[in-house]
Amino acid sequence: MKVSYSAQLMEESVFRHLNHLERSGYRSDYDEFHSLADPIYELPEDDREAAFEKVNRLFFLERLKLGDHVLRALEAVGLIPKRKRTVRKSALVQKTEVAEIESPEELSEEADTEQAGAEGEAIESEEGVTAVAEMEEDDDELEQNDEVSYDLAREFEERIKEVVVKRGINKVDEGSNVLNRVSGNPIIEMRVLASRFSNPEEAQELDAFLIHEFMHAKDMVDPEFDYEDAFIPGNPSVKNLITARFKLLWNMYVDSRLARMGVVSVQPKESRYREFDNFYRKIPDKQRKGIFEGLWQTEKLTHEELLSMATDLDTLMSKYVDPGDMAEDEKDFIHLQGSPCPLCKFPTYNWVDDPESICDEMVIEAIQIDFPDWESRDGGCDRCIEVYELRAGVG
């Protein structure tokens, strides 16, 4: 597996990181960078681009070790086996770490790496345009933590052709994707904001983001997850709703596994619950909590199962709610946010759950003239109820 970084990402990340160090009073890397970069302006214009890329690559990979965030994230999710590598921590980070009390997890992670006071090992780069970090194979230095997970990680490492890390344009653009998945030579593409590399004291957020996204990518190349590009039938608002639920459920699946591995992800469990709560607010409290806990504890899910649960509430509930806990007809009358109103058929987030309890009898009768099979328990959107109130002459 190759890990490569786009020139734009390296340039912007190096600039922001060095800028932060300089503003914090740590000038040595900043001065060194400019001692190498400033003379490039004297070169002919056509020669400058390659020269700048070389300097940026040097600082991104070797001086500032910014590429290590990506490698550590790949190791954390099991896409590559853990390996020892030299670490050069900036003076700013060292100063911060001395002030903090290290947790046992940090101590065990640090045991995997060698802290070097001098420069880190140079990583051979093969290509002139983008930086390439070849994974060093040194059997004597391999971390022998678990034979099974090591073998699995090696399998992924060998199957995936390349990991390409690019600069994200904005927060929405950030994320991971797998290209050439069907052809059998998958390439993981990761887009990340360069500003995430600015502050070494906020590295945990960067690491959490990378780990979370690489876990998604891993699922996409994992035959057990069985990812497939799916066609979601229905009008655009239905598609959007199902896609949003699917994203939430997949994010939960990723974060729950990371939590069990003891790895920090982008959102903690409580935060995911609030998100889940928002989508499935209409499910009674007890069942809703039970579904969330059930999902969170599930060790294995497939793409099809996630999509099926996102599409159909029944599938979700039958998997995690005991049949005795809720009557069938109770389930039928759960009005999820974004579900279509039975009267106008438009998706609605403003439900009137039981109009009979708040409206005049004439309103119910007016609805049933147009919809003979409709019952109050079916509910309706607030706009439809208002229309029928007017028609009934009580609005």
Partner 1 sequence: MPEVYNWQLGRMATYVYDEKHPKEQFTFVFNTNRCIACQTCTMAHKSTWTFSKGQEYMWWNNVETKPYGGYPQFWDWKILKMLEQSNPGQNVWNVRKTSNKAIHGVYEGVTIFEAPAKIGLNQQAIGYVPTDEEWRFPNFGEDTAHGREFTQSREGTFGGDNGTRSVLPEHKIWFFYLQRICNHCTYPGCLAACPRKAIYKRQEDGIVLIDQSRCRGYKKCVEQCPYKKPMFRGTTRISEKCIACYPRIEGLDPLTEGDQMETRCMAACVGKIRLQGLVKIGSNGEWAHDPDNPQYYLIRDRKVALPLYPQLGTEPNGYYVPSRHVPRAYSQQMFGPGVDHSIDQYMVPDRDLLGVLQLFRTTQRIIFKWKREPGPKIFETNIHGKKFEMYNDTVIGFNRKGKEIIRVTVEEPFYVRPEEHPGAI
Interface residues with partner 1 (CB under 8 A)? 12, 15-16, 19, 23, 25, 34, 37-38, 41, 48, 52, 169-171, 193-195
Could you count the other beta carbons within 10 Å of the beta carbon of residue 268? 11
Q: Residue 99 CB, nearest distance to partner 1 (Å)?
A: 17
Q: Residue 370 CB, nearest distance to partner 1 (Å)?
A: 32
Question: For partner 1, which is the closer residue by CB, 3 or 55?
Answer: 55
Tokens of 29: 């890397």
Question: For partner 1, which is the closer residue by CB, 82 or 167?
Answer: 167
Question: For partner 1, which is the closer residue by CB, 12 or 207?
Answer: 12
Q: Residue 37 CB, nearest distance to partner 1 (Å)?
A: 7
Question: For partner 1, which is the closer residue by CB, 38 or 328?
Answer: 38
Question: For partner 1, which is the closer residue by CB, 63 or 335?
Answer: 63
Q: Residue 20 CB, nearest distance to partner 1 (Å)?
A: 10
Q: Are 363 and 387 in contact (CB under 8 A)?
A: no
Contacts of 379 (CB under 8 A, 6+ apart): 333, 335, 341, 342, 351, 352, 353, 354, 355
The count of residues in the chain is: 395
Question: For partner 1, which is the closer residue by CB, 171 or 274?
Answer: 171
- In terms of DSSP H, where are the helices of the chain? 7-23, 28-37, 45-57, 67-77, 91-99, 104-110, 147-159, 203-221, 236-261, 269-279, 285-297, 303-311, 313-320, 328-332, 361-370, 382-391
What is the C-alpha end-to-end distance of the chain, expressed in Å? 67
Q: Residue 50 CB, nearest distance to partner 1 (Å)?
A: 13
Question: For partner 1, which is the closer residue by CB, 82 or 196?
Answer: 196
Q: Are 325 and 284 in contact (CB under 8 A)?
A: no
Distance (Å) of CA 183 to CA 138, 163, 187, 238: 30, 16, 10, 31
Q: Residue 172 CB, nearest distance to partner 1 (Å)?
A: 10
Identify the burial level of 93 via C-beta atoms within 10 angstroms of its C-beta, where 0-12 means exposed, 13-18 middle and 19 or more buried: middle
Q: Residue 36 CB, nearest distance to partner 1 (Å)?
A: 11
